[in-house]
Amino acid sequence: MSGVLVVVEQRDGTLHKSALEGVVAGQKIGAELNLPVFAAVLGSGIEATAQTLAGYKLAKIHAVDHELLKDYTPDGYTLALQQLITRHQPKFVLFAHTYQTRDYAPKLATALDRVLVSDAISFKVSGDSIVLVRQLFQGKINADVRFTGDAPYFASIQAGAFRADAIEAGSAAVEKTTPDLKPEQIRTKPLELFRESQRAVDLTAAQIIVSVGRGIKEPENIPVVQKLADALGAELAASRPICDNGWLPMERQVGSSGQTVAPKLYVAVGISGAIQHLVGMKGSKTIVAINKDPEAPIFEVADYGIVGDLFEVVPAIIDALGK
């Protein structure tokens, strides 16, 4: 068993925004353990997309090509990758921790009698292997997870844990491979992709965002944070539970299922900072967190924080802004 295989996600020929972060994680692990790094791209007529990785430091790019891989299905992707892994015997198989990875990577690992270490944020070298760090209790506690037993070892990497711009340049050849797939092996039928509404609010253009979370307690309290947004000339945004409850429209949601923003100032009010929210805002230039729980993960990414009751703190900030 040798090498690191990074599975690179694409849709309609465009790489997933976290795909290159997975390659960077692979390159770093490969460098530490002196292992060659391979990439795999799955799809139908996928060679041109695979070619977009040819300028990076990789030992080879596998273009796993089959008409049954045109649209993603967990059965198709699992069978195709199972065959690739069985043939090439990588020691590590890495994924960016995307919604698609969550949908099939645990199945793939199970098919090979292994367990995926999901959503890892970093790794430490331990002998000729690695220990992965992942978060428990929505970011409140960290855990070291070790691979035991035989390779291959499967891991998915949290969005933002590695920087895509740290990718090492080089040159790599694309090798096309056609897996053995039959239509009857694919049990789910994916239909069209769609969006529910046109976005009227483009949060990504806002310079300042005030974002509200569960701490607001009641929809009647939304004006408390609206006033702060008005005082700062900010757009109002929210974490997922607020939009799920219909307290603010979905188009104002920040996070993995909403918009990804990076304003110069992001003020998180009553948001604990679940990872699904953090990935949507942690690139902001300055982050302010207001929360009653000093252990809330939002303080991990905050530049400035106030620990306290938002219903006292927010009006006090509005006052201070007026002075």
Partner 1 sequence: MKIVVAIKQVPSRDSQLKVNSAGTWIEDGDLTWEINEPDAYALEAGLQLKEKHGGEVVALCAGPESASQTIREALAKGADRAIHIEMGTAATADPLGLARMLAKALESEKPDLILTGLQSDDLGYGQTGVILAEVMGLPHATIIMDVEASDSSIKVKRELEDGWFQYVEMPLPALLTIQSGATRLRYATLMGIKKAKTKEVRKVAASDLGSDAAGSIQLERIYMPERTKNSQIFDGPPKEAAAKLVEKLRFEARVL
Segment 154 to 183, residues that bind partner 1, using CB under 8 A: none
Specify the residue, 33 or 250, whose C-beta has the smaller distance to partner 1: 250
Span interacting with partner 1, options 33-41, 49-57, 94-102, 170-178, rule CB under 8 A: 94-102
Specify the residue, 22 or 74, whose C-beta has the smaller distance to partner 1: 74
Q: If residue 117 lies in a helix (H) or strand (E), which one and from where to where?
A: strand 117-126
Specify the residue, 165 or 196, whose C-beta has the smaller distance to partner 1: 196
Find out whether the peptide bond into 152 is cis, omega within 30 degrees of 0.
yes
| φ, ψ for residue 179, nearest 5 deg | -75, 165
Tokens at 227, concatenated: 């006033």
Least distance between partner 1 and beta carbon 88 (Å): 20
Span interacting with partner 1, options 34-42, 81-89, 165-173, 236-244, rule CB under 8 A: 236-244
Secondary structure (3-state) at 119? strand
| CB-CB contact of 47 with 62 (8 Å) | no
Q: How far is residue 219's CA from residue 225's CA, in Å, rounded to a whole number?
A: 11
Q: How far is residue 310's CA from residue 316's CA, in Å, rounded to a whole number?
A: 9
User: Among 20, 265, 268, 278, which residue sits at the site for partner 1 (rule: CB under 8 A)?
Assistant: 265
Q: How far is residue 224's CA from residue 216's CA, in Å, rounded to a whole number?
A: 9
User: Among 33, 54, 111, 164, which residue sits at the site for partner 1 (rule: CB under 8 A)?
Assistant: 111
Least distance between partner 1 and beta carbon 77 (Å): 12
Specify the residue, 57 or 140, whose C-beta has the smaller distance to partner 1: 140
Ranges within 42-81 binding partner 1 (CB under 8 A): 74-75
User: Among 258, 261, 270, 278, which residue sits at the site for partner 1 (rule: CB under 8 A)?
Assistant: 258
**Binding flag, residue 218, partner 1 (CB under 8 A):** no
Ranges within 282-301 binding partner 1 (CB under 8 A): 285-286, 288, 293-295, 299-301
Going by the DSSP 8-state scheme, the letter that residue 124 receives in this structure is E
Q: How far is residue 270's CA from residue 94's CA, in Å, rounded to a whole number?
A: 35
| CB-CB contact of 9 with 100 (8 Å) | yes
Going by the DSSP 8-state scheme, the letter that residue 254 receives in this structure is B
Residue in this structure with the two tokens 């891989």, named with its chain if needed: 69
**Binding flag, residue 128, partner 1 (CB under 8 A):** no
Least distance between partner 1 and beta carbon 301 (Å): 6
Span interacting with partner 1, options 19-27, 59-67, 147-155, 219-227, rule CB under 8 A: 147-155
**Binding flag, residue 249, partner 1 (CB under 8 A):** no
Q: How far is residue 284's CA from residue 205's CA, in Å, rounded to a whole number?
A: 12
Q: Kindly determine how many residues on this chain lie close enough to bind partner 1 according to the rule CB under 8 A.
A: 87
**Binding flag, residue 202, partner 1 (CB under 8 A):** no
Long-range Cβ pairs for the range 281-285 (8 Å, 24+):
281/209, 281/211, 281/254, 281/255, 282/160, 283/160, 284/209
